[in-house]
Structure 1
Amino acid sequence: MTTEILRGYLRISQDRQGRSTSTERQDAILTEHCARLGWTYHPNPYVDRGLSASSYGSKPRPDFAALMADLAGGTLGASVVGIYESSRGSRQPAEWEELIRLARAARVRFYVATHGRVYDPRNSRDRRSLREDATDSAYESDKTSERVTADAAVKAAEGRPWGNLPYGFMRVRDPRTGALVAQVPHPQEAPNVRDLFEKLADRWTLAAIARQWEGRGVLNASGRPFSPKHLRQLAIKPAYAGWRVHHPRADREEGLPPRVYSAKWEPLVPPELFDTVQAILRDPTRKTTRAGLGIHLSTAVVRCGVCGGPTSSSERGGEPRHLRCHDRDCLQINQEFIDYLVEEAIIDALTDESLTRRPGGTDERLDQVRAELAAVRLQLTDLAAAVAARKISVLLAASAEPPLRQELARLEALDRELSVPPVLSRFVAPADTEARKRWAGMPMSARRDAARALCVPGRLGVPTVHRTTDRGWCAAREHERPLQTCVHTVGRRLTWEEAAV
């Protein structure tokens, strides 16, 4: 008599509460049953760990697919497929139906350990039993999903944490019950999160931050350095600003936006800093990949006045570093002086609100703030007029004016914050000395972004270099001797065009 060979399919979706039977335990149980029945247990069972078999699962089950393929191809190497319980195979009736069809065609039976019996898919009653189990399993999955969804919605509305622990936080649990008590800043990780947001607001690139963190020995949960992609994922997490975001599946299917609630944990960064970083990361003009190292200011903005193309930095021919037409080699010019002229123009512009502020009509929130600002100013004007006309007493005006002045100051500060593009917000200053200090303290990547924002038509204009028309020597008084190349001769070749060249 031929000995039956049983090949197991072992699966577990999660074992967080200790209520699921692990794949190792399932394997031991099937081995024990085979020994009692006098069967041979195949040494290579199919195993899918941590993967859901319901319709709510988002990840494929590679070994389940291999089982189906081996049944279809006749390469199973066994006469019986063993599973711990029916739901371990699949919680989807359609999948079970296909599994039954393939097993029936291959003359392979099923053994369910919790039932202690064999099911033959060639038998109509056994097929019905397997289908009923699949339907029951699907129903249980639906009920579990509904419970989890409802629980998640309640926790979200209450601002409580849910899911994976974000980097920068730690969770405090009740030592007796293990229940979650609070989510608090991690003493070592939280400062790194703040550092990330501050550097991004200062226009550091993600790659530069990743290099700096690696040099400091900052590692992620897997013990590896953070990549720029991983840092970007951190930088867009609303949890750091104290927001609890919930996006139910039903809302996603309807195309509705996520729901946002105030979180119960302490934010790691101020909401205004978080908003600034989001604007920077989502700025359509932001470039995440650039040619070269991006270490020269002028190459970001200066154009050739002959062909309209970009300029690049060069030291070829043993000459001092110079800018040259990148596309056609139309011209070249001393880069040190061009950098100086462009930088001086930008620093001057950083103290000029007419060049750094956004015009109205480009931002709905800014327009709303300016409308509220105009209304408060009108109220103050009306209040003064009412006092002058003796329609209200000075005492009443004295009590009404302070709240209006306070609201005026708040709206004016918000207007300044919203009016300045994010790439310029860290540079803008009321005085030249402070603007120079801020400019000197920023990395070149931030300076290049500021140059791109200011050196455009409508602001400073496009800095454009033309061919030389005067090859004579410069005899300016500050020169000890006449010079052929100096800031004056370079300046005569540089114009600020109001239209793109």
Structure 2
Amino acid sequence: MTSIRAREYRRLSKDRGGSSIAEQAQDNAQAAAEQGWELGEAYEDADRSASRYKTRERDGFDRLLADLRAGRFGASVLVIWESSRGSRDVGEWDALVKLCEKHRVLIHVTSHRRTYDPRNHRDRRTLLEDAVDSAYESDKNAVRIRRQTASHAAKGRPHGLAPYGFRPVYDEKTGDLDTWLENHDESYVPVELFRLLEAGHSLAAIARTFAERGWVNAKTGRPFTRHHLRNMATRAAYAGIRVHTDPETGKVTETEGTWDGLVPKEQFYAVRRLLADPARRTTRNGAAKYELTLTIKCDVCGEGLTVTRANLKSKRESYKCRHSHVFISKADVDAIVIPALLSYLARRDIYQQLAAPDSDDEQIRKVRGQLAQARASMAEMEAETPESADHARVLGRSITALAGKISDLEQEEQTLAMPAVITSLLGAADDVAGWWTAAPVSARRQIARIVLSPKLLGEIRVTRTPSKGRTPDVADRLKIRSI
């Protein structure tokens, strides 16, 4: 007699107990042998959740459904170790059962030691009841995990994989994550990253510096990219801060962590403000080349000027408005503006103004509180599903308005808080020229943007050359706008 051909589906989530993939295969093979079935190629998903909370697709399960729909399954029986291995999502499981019913495929659940026929209403009810029970257990676990995670966050306990530069420490009795400790084989990388960022170096320049030093990612053996370094620089864990985002409200809370940070909190927040600066600019290759680009403005349209050359052979550089309103020699402008800038920075009286603006810590805390609330509201709106076209339009307008409010609050926070690069200038008033020469171009650009503003030294604007009459000197074309 010809044996009935069967195919199996195996799955295991790394965060759950139960039979391993190998154990499932062994038990399924034994069950097939007892039934006299020939097992064909298996469908498999290792390290994949089957609940509605899953974050990654199950390729094996999707291929199983596709083969059933297309008539490529090629077997009379689907073997599963237990119902929850198929799915903990009632909708997914119902779809599988219906496909098996349509194509006359039996479902054998090895742990039940029983074969079900989806065409039989009693068997179908049993299979669907299993899915409801599995989904219920999944929901209970999800609620428990959310509560546990929130509780751990409130206590400042770490969560997830240890950031680069830390190593995890587990409880010997429970095996649970206890804390993070500094990994001296890696920690010098984030420490140097924060130091260089605070000093005004760009991410691209730091990536090149690390590569020149031969520093590579110890986990991959590859050089650090500016994207990796940016992610590293925005992780509050390096300052010993536990961050938790409520999955339902989107509210973000920061708590003192139970582990020691690698960098001071003041340094972390200074770097975070620097990276979040909406006026921060880089060139296409990420390397800042000129100090005054985009800071000096066109007097006609108000946009920042960029550097260009009259022709490819000429080495003479000029500042130019992208609308071609103004065109002026870069060297001549720099010869006037940069000495004035350095003279201003050499004045001891201006550092108190730079280091302590007309605000206090209470004002900054208030603005940051409003900013956190606005960002949480934005997260809620973005997660909302419109119920109608009118609702979608209203929601869109609300999101646009809130985005503008967030932008204004971010600008206000930046104005109230001392820019990080100013800290590297404090105490350098005796040798501003030396600091300027030694500082990276990205740091000089930040200082220029801060000082050449209407509230301080004044915004530099370039006027048009008159169409008739004497061509004015460069100094005559530079207009200072102050408030």
TM-score, structure 1 as length reference:
0.76
Cα 1:177/1:461, change in 2 over 3 Å:
closer
Q: 2:39 aligns with which of 28, 36, 41?
A: 41
Which whole-Å CA distance do the structure 1 matches of 2:91 and 2:176 have between them?
38
| Matching residue of 1:28 | 26
| Matching residue of 2:200 | 203
Which whole-Å CA distance do the structure 2 matches of 1:367 and 1:225 have between them?
38
| Matching residue of 2:309 | 314
Q: 2:333 aligns with which of 338, 347, 359?
A: 338
Which whole-Å CA distance do the structure 2 matches of 1:76 and 1:436 have between them?
76
* CA offset digits 1:318-367 (Å, max 9, x no partner): 5553315354385442x334323322222233342587468647996259
1:80 aligns with 2:85: no
| Matching residue of 2:263 | 269
Greater Rg by CA? 1
Secondary structure in 2 matching 1:323: strand
* CA offset digits 1:35-83 (Å, max 9, x no partner): 232211112x211111111122222212212212222221111111111
Secondary structure in 1 matching 2:293: helix
Secondary structure in 2 matching 1:99: helix
1:104 aligns with 2:101: yes
- Structure 1 residue 290 displacement after superposition: 4.6
Which whole-Å CA distance do the structure 2 matches of 1:367 and 1:270 have between them?
19
Cα 1:499/1:288, change in 2 over 3 Å:
same
Code of the aligned partner of 2:11:
R
Cα 1:436/1:55, change in 2 over 3 Å:
same
Question: Structure 1 residues 211-220 or 128-137, which shifts more?
Answer: 211-220
| Matching residue of 1:68 | 65
Structure 2: give runs of 5+ residues left out of the alignment: 368-413
Which whole-Å CA distance do the structure 2 matches of 1:125 and 1:209 have between them?
66
8 Å contact from structure 1 (residues 83, 111) kept in 2 = yes
Code of the aligned partner of 1:294:
A
| Matching residue of 1:387 | none
Code of the aligned partner of 1:218:
V
Code of the aligned partner of 1:61:
R
| Matching residue of 2:88 | 91
| Matching residue of 2:392 | none
Cα 1:132/1:203, change in 2 over 3 Å:
same
Identity, in percent, stands at 36
Secondary structure in 2 matching 1:163: coil
Which whole-Å CA distance do the structure 1 matches of 2:177 and 2:208 have between them?
35
8 Å contact from structure 1 (residues 201, 277) kept in 2 = yes
| Matching residue of 1:59 | 56
- Structure 1 residue 293 displacement after superposition: 4.7
* Pairing 1:156-175 to 2, within 5 Å after superposition: 156-173=153-170
Which whole-Å CA distance do the structure 2 matches of 1:41 and 1:211 have between them?
55
Which whole-Å CA distance do the structure 2 matches of 1:88 and 1:495 have between them?
73
1:436 aligns with 2:433: yes
| Matching residue of 1:8 | 8
CA RMSD of aligned residues (A): 3.3
- Structure 1 residue 442 displacement after superposition: 2.0
* Pairing 1:151-300 to 2, within 5 Å after superposition: 151-173=148-170, 178=175, 180-215=177-212, 216-219=214-217, 221-249=219-247, 253-255=248-250, 257-288=251-282, 290=284, 293-300=287-294
Cα 1:466/1:419, change in 2 over 3 Å:
same
Code of the aligned partner of 1:96:
W
Which whole-Å CA distance do the structure 1 matches of 2:300 and 2:415 have between them?
38
Structure 1: give runs of 5+ residues left out of the alignment: 370-416, 472-488
Question: Structure 1 residues 417-426 or 202-211, which shifts more?
Answer: 417-426
| Matching residue of 2:480 | 497
Which whole-Å CA distance do the structure 2 matches of 1:490 and 1:362 have between them?
44
Code of the aligned partner of 2:52:
S
Which whole-Å CA distance do the structure 2 matches of 1:152 and 1:455 have between them?
47
Cα 1:362/1:346, change in 2 over 3 Å:
farther
Cα 1:207/1:421, change in 2 over 3 Å:
same
Which whole-Å CA distance do the structure 2 matches of 1:181 and 1:325 have between them?
58
* CA offset digits 1:469-496 (Å, max 9, x no partner): 878xxxxxxxxxxxxxxxxx96634523
Secondary structure in 2 matching 1:298: coil
Which whole-Å CA distance do the structure 1 matches of 2:3 and 2:79 have between them?
15
Code of the aligned partner of 2:71:
G
Question: Structure 1 residues 357-366 or 433-442, which shifts more?
Answer: 357-366
TM-score, structure 2 as length reference:
0.78
Cα 1:367/1:118, change in 2 over 3 Å:
closer
| Matching residue of 1:142 | 139
Code of the aligned partner of 1:272:
E
| Matching residue of 1:479 | none
Code of the aligned partner of 1:131:
L
Equivalences, count: 428
* Pairing 1:457-472 to 2, within 5 Å after superposition: 457-459=454-456, 460-464=458-462, 467=465
8 Å contact from structure 2 (residues 288, 442) kept in 1 = yes
Which whole-Å CA distance do the structure 2 matches of 1:314 and 1:308 have between them?
21
Which whole-Å CA distance do the structure 2 matches of 1:106 and 1:494 have between them?
82
Cα 1:105/1:431, change in 2 over 3 Å:
closer
Cα 1:41/1:77, change in 2 over 3 Å:
same
1:348 aligns with 2:331: no
- Structure 1 residue 283 displacement after superposition: 1.5
Which whole-Å CA distance do the structure 2 matches of 1:235 and 1:111 have between them?
52
Cα 1:57/1:419, change in 2 over 3 Å:
closer
